Structure 1
Amino acid sequence: MEKKKLSTTFKLLRALGFNYSEEEYGDVSLGRVVWQFFHNIRQKHRQNMMDWAILEPFAPRKLRPRLMRKMGCHVGEGCFIGDHVRIDQGHADMITLEDGVSVASGTRLLCHQRDFKDYFVGSDYNKLGYIVKPIVLKKGCLVGMESFVMPGVTIGEGAIVGAGSLVTKDIPAWTIAAGRPAKVLKEIPRRDSEV
């Protein structure tokens, strides 16, 4: 198998400690890396503002949703965002929270992860590509504290995800799910039905 010759830019980036793969990122320019560097600092500053204690009375329903919008997320009206919620800053535009969504403290919303389908003994982890897919939290759903929502997941309307869950697959509307990985435990009954 013939080795591909690295461009001068990639050699420079590798010398500076960046481990980009040309297969994954294409021909990355130094200018693009510099732009991304400053963009990441700005996004990180916004992320940190979400946890400023002095703003706590306004933060969950006013400040944090507004900052998430500024970071690129699609956030509806009346959303509650707990403290220390972290989003995938590089793919913030792929995160949608519809009206009335609640995301409890410490939750992570991740739109990318390594793709392990071509990972075998002797493979180089750093050369694996990524799975990049959007996350959609439907109207009125709740994601419990310290949960992880992984790429490509849709959490249905009114669904509840228990604290500490790892959500790797879609959660249907009006259900309660929990666990690692999260599984549906119960359907939420209609008010007029007998329990």
Structure 2
Amino acid sequence: MSSEKLSFTFLFLRKLGLNYSEKEYGKVSLWQVIRRALKTYKDVFLLKFGMNSWLLSPFLPRKIRPAILRSVGCHVGKDVFVGDTVHIDAGHADMLTIEDHAHIAGGVRLLCHQRNLRDYCVGDDYAKLGYIIKPVVLKKGCLVGMESFVMPGVTIGEGAIVGAGSLVTKDIPAWTIATGRPAKVIKQIPKREDA
């Protein structure tokens, strides 16, 4: 991409209030930004008004909310439960995988991107930092408790339980219970012994 075109795109995106990091401008064209913005607005509209409709509330958790997540690009398995006011990273919905029988309680946020603070120093402009963009995977039968945050790059293992209000920054192993800010494993779920 020529420096003239890069400068125009850079300046135009800044004028629109889109504050991509300077490292990302070489990867972004104005048309890509417009297409992504239109898709994101459509998806956010569906998420905002479809996910919490009082009229459809009896059907929302297991039928409509999972269907809406699929329609915006998430990979959603069978018999998934999605509580009210669940927020996903709409701009990166395709990076979210929710396997069969997973449960997401109300108020959970599933994030696939965050600012990269690795090289952030005194005097730097936070708005110019790049992003870490990684998938989030909720394995079969896991539960993410109410008002929890799941950060980019996290996998919550099969059958794992994340306690309410947790901040999940690292993978949670299968068949464990984790809680806290940041979430830490506090218990291994035992195997059932035959009577």
* Aligned partner of residue 55 in structure 2, secondary structure: helix
Which digits, 9 at most, give the CA deviation of each residue in 1:40-68, with x for residues without a partner? 21011111111111111000000000000
- In 2: Cα distance, 1:105 partner to 1:154 partner: 19
Asked if the contact 2:10–2:25 (Cα under 8 Å) also holds between the matched residues in 1, the reply is no
AA aligned to 2:16 is L
Deviation at 1:11, TM superposition (A): 1.4
1:8-157 equivalences under 5 Å are: 8-48=8-48, 49-157=50-158
Deviation at 1:69, TM superposition (A): 0.5
Which digits, 9 at most, give the CA deviation of each residue in 1:133-172, with x for residues without a partner? 1111111000000000001111111010000000001111
Which digits, 9 at most, give the CA deviation of each residue in 1:6-35, with x for residues without a partner? 511221222232222341242533333322
Q: Please give the root-mean-square deviation of Cα atoms over the aligned residues, in Å.
A: 1.7
Instruction: Structure 2: state its 5+ residue gaps.
Output: none
* Aligned partner of residue 66 in structure 1, secondary structure: helix
Q: Hey, what does 1:173 align to over in structure 2?
A: 174
Deviation at 1:126, TM superposition (A): 1.2
Instruction: Structure 1: state its 5+ residue gaps.
Output: none
Deviation at 1:193, TM superposition (A): 7.4
Deviation at 1:37, TM superposition (A): 2.5
Which digits, 9 at most, give the CA deviation of each residue in 1:51-105, with x for residues without a partner? 1111110000000000000111100001000011011111111111110000000
TM superposition score normalised by structure 1: 0.92
| Pairs aligned (count) | 191
TM superposition score normalised by structure 2: 0.92
Deviation at 1:124, TM superposition (A): 1.3
- In 2: Cα distance, 1:172 partner to 1:28 partner: 36
AA aligned to 2:40 is N
Pair 78,27 (structure 1): closer, same or farther in 2 beyond 3 Å = closer
Q: 4+ residue runs of structure 1 moved beyond 6 angstroms?
A: none
- In 2: Cα distance, 1:164 partner to 1:40 partner: 27
- In 1: Cα distance, 2:58 partner to 2:25 partner: 42
